[in-house]
Amino acid sequence: MDPDKYCQEKAAASGSSFYYSFLFLNPIQKQAMVALYAFCREVDDIVDECTEESIARTKLQWWREEISRLFTKEPRHPVSKALLSSLGNFDLAEEYFQEIIDGMEMDLDYEAYPSFKELGLYCHRVAGVVGLLSAEIFGYQDRKTLDYARDLGFAFQLTNILRDVREDADRGRLYIPLDELKQHNVSAEDIFAHKNSDAMQALFKTQAKRAADYYEKAHSLLPEVDRYPQRCGLIMSAIYETTLREVEADGFRVLNHRTSLTPLRKLWVAWKTARKEHKIEKKRQRLLKNRE
């Protein structure tokens, strides 16, 4: 199969909110982002789908070697073949791809995270680093934009963690820090048993607040000059923040069901955000012209 077609099908099949933001990229950026997302799906699926830990570690090690081959221009897998053209167009660091694999392997090392310190490292590797790679593809002038991109990746991952509590629990995994469970008088067993309580709702509210704080911090860090180039990240943010608000509006019943937006609503939020950012950029350009 053609490498780009393989990545396109991998990305589309996931139904991820990320895919909707790709619609607003130019062809070269879109190809790179779809290939990057397909890579993330490939290594994430290994951990989710392999029942034998040793097999999962072996497959992740294969991907470590494949990334090395990619950066010596000898890739074998359709995804890394698709990524090869991106290396010529964008400054994508090999260490970031290896760090993403490190993050996926943490799922084999931890069934639960003792504190946010450990969880924070996980979020950095599986999401913050993806944010940094995405920022390179979108383009930027001010290096502060990298801080924005990293923190936005954190916000996305924290939103996913809250939204997917039940699904992760059914896999025997828990991403809410254990010390925070203890602070709220909630046990891991309560989550695995889908046991709702006032204490559980308070715990989830705390997680939502942390995610919201990361969105706020990320947006405050984005320099005005890079706002329009980074608009796809803002589109993703609008979709994810809408999901977070839906979880809150639903009373944090994440142990009952998974809250998600319909494809049509995601598309509407994406279009509305893209239109808003276009207006903001036109206004910025007018102000710059008036100062000349």
Encoded tokens for 67: 């990334």
| Number of domains into which the chain is organized | 2
User: Which residues partner with 42 through β-bridges?
Assistant: none
Q: How many residues does the chain have?
A: 292
Mean pLDDT rounded to a whole number for the chain: 94
Nearest CA-CA partner of 263 in 1, 6, 2, 13 = 13
Nearest CA-CA partner of 39 in 128, 126, 147, 155 = 126
The tens digit of pLDDT for each residue in 50-92 reads 889 999 999 999 999 999 999 999 999 999 999 998 998 999 9
Are 102 and 128 in the same domain? no
Q: What confidence tier does 178 reach under pLDDT thresholds 50, 70, 90?
A: very high
pLDDT for position 287: 87
Task: Give residue 149's domain range.
Answer: 110-279
What's 209's domain CATH number?
1.10.600.10
pLDDT for position 15: 64
102 part of a folded domain: yes
Are 114 and 201 in the same domain? yes
136 part of a folded domain: yes
pLDDT for position 95: 97
Which of the listed residues 109, 132, 164 is the one where a domain comes to its end? 109
Lowest mean pLDDT among 5-9, 29-33, 61-65: 5-9
Are 84 and 188 in the same domain? no
291 part of a folded domain: no
Q: How far is CA 14 from CA 41, 147, 177, 220, 287, in A?
A: 8, 27, 27, 30, 41
Are 42 and 137 in the same domain? no
126 part of a folded domain: yes
Residues 186-204 have a mean pLDDT of 96
Q: Are 181 and 203 in contact (CB under 8 A)?
A: yes
DSSP 8-class letter at 225: G
pLDDT for position 131: 97
pLDDT for position 12: 78
Which of the listed residues 109, 135, 160 is the one where a domain comes to its end? 109
173 part of a folded domain: yes
pLDDT for position 212: 98
284 part of a folded domain: no
pLDDT at residue 291 tops 90: no
Are 93 and 169 in the same domain? no
289 part of a folded domain: no
Q: What confidence tier does 14 reach under pLDDT thresholds 50, 70, 90?
A: low
pLDDT at residue 182 tops 90: yes
pLDDT for position 160: 96
Are 75 and 214 in the same domain? no
Which of the listed residues 77, 109, 141 is the one where a domain comes to its end? 109
155 part of a folded domain: yes
Q: What confidence tier does 30 reach under pLDDT thresholds 50, 70, 90?
A: very high
The tens digit of pLDDT for each residue in 140-171 reads 999 999 999 999 999 999 999 999 999 999 98
pLDDT at residue 292 tops 80: no
pLDDT for position 51: 82
* 282-291 residues labelled b (16+ CB within 10 A) or e (exposed): eeeeeeeeee
pLDDT for position 49: 85
Are 131 and 217 in the same domain? yes
Are 196 and 223 in the same domain? yes
Encoded tokens for 2: 């053609």
The tens digit of pLDDT for each residue in 37-46 reads 999 999 999 9
pLDDT for position 228: 96
Q: Are 256 and 166 in contact (CB under 8 A)?
A: yes
The tens digit of pLDDT for each residue in 206-265 reads 999 999 999 999 999 999 999 999 999 999 999 999 999 999 999 999 999 999 999 899
pLDDT for position 137: 96
Are 53 and 181 in the same domain? no
The tens digit of pLDDT for each residue in 94-104 reads 999 999 999 99
Are 59 and 122 in the same domain? no
Are 33 and 153 in the same domain? no
Q: Are 267 and 15 in contact (CB under 8 A)?
A: no
Are 88 and 104 in the same domain? yes
